[in-house]
Amino acid sequence: LPQVLIHHGLFPTVPLQPRIAVSLELLSFYRALFERSCNTINALVAALKTHYTRRGFQLTDSHVSLWFRCS
């Protein structure tokens, strides 16, 4: 099953009997953010907010808390 998932562009979260898989394109996007940002979580959130805003979704809660800081 893991080989079939990878063949279809998905990465399994566990090697045996995966129930969840992540898009390889999403992992590539996350890697690009990580390489260019000290605080990847905030960069990811900002990118997703822009993406969803452009698709017509609206922000319903603007409260954001920092989980960690860059060293």
Per residue in 14-42, pLDDT (tens digit) is 988 889 999 999 998 888 777 776 676 77
Token pair 């997703």 is at which residue? 48
Decide if pLDDT at 53 tops 50: yes
The b/e string for 2-29 (b: 16+ C-beta within 10 A; e otherwise) is eeebeeeebebeeeeeeeebeeeeeeee
Checking if the pLDDT of 71 tops 70, the result is no
Report the number of distinct structural domains present in the chain.
Answer: 1
pTM: predicted TM-score of the whole model, two decimal places: 0.48
pLDDT at 8 (0 to 100):
95
Predicted pLDDT of residue 5: 92
Residue 67 in any domain: the answer is no
In a domain, 64, yes or no: no
> Encoding tokens for residue 26?
């999403």
In a domain, 40, yes or no: yes
**Total residue count of the chain as it appears in this document:** 71
Single-letter residue type at 15? P
Structural domain of 14 = 2-54
Q: Report yes or no on 61 lying in a domain.
A: no
Q: What is the pLDDT of residue 63?
A: 60
In a domain, 60, yes or no: no
